[in-house]
Amino acid sequence: MAEKEYIIHQLYNDISNLESQLRHNHEKIARLKKAESGISNELNELVDHKPLVFDPELTSYTWQGKYAEMFLDIRNGINYAYTGIIQQTEDLLNDISRKISELEAMNTSISNTISSKRSQLAHLKA
């Protein structure tokens, strides 16, 4: 009988630890989703403003010469930086999305384990 009580006690401890891990993962997911939303909003704003790098349009009639070429080089550098930042941000959003999926899969596994342990517990108590 003592062995059965020990197993029951161990199952309760396991379930408690798993439920704690489940809550912790839910909190992580909530924080990641909040961060993902904020970063996504900022990315959209960045993408919307990228065309402004080329405003005003410069033509040979509006501006030409050495300083115009330097200015266009600077513009191209800014455009290149914008493109790099956008790509890095998209990569970050993909990483966040992968981590959310990973945590959700982990939570599914934990929930299944909790159900299994509760089933074992019910069987032992019967």
Per-residue pLDDT of 33-82, as tens digits, reads 999 999 999 999 999 999 998 888 777 777 778 888 888 899 999 999 99
Q: Give dist(CA 10, CA 4) in Å, integer.
A: 10
pTM of the shown model: 0.84
Contacts of 50 (CB under 8 A, 6+ apart): 79, 82, 83, 86
Asked if 106 contacts 25 with a C-beta cutoff of 8 angstroms, the reply is yes
pLDDT digits (tens, 9 = 90+) for 17-47: 999 999 999 999 999 999 999 999 999 999 9
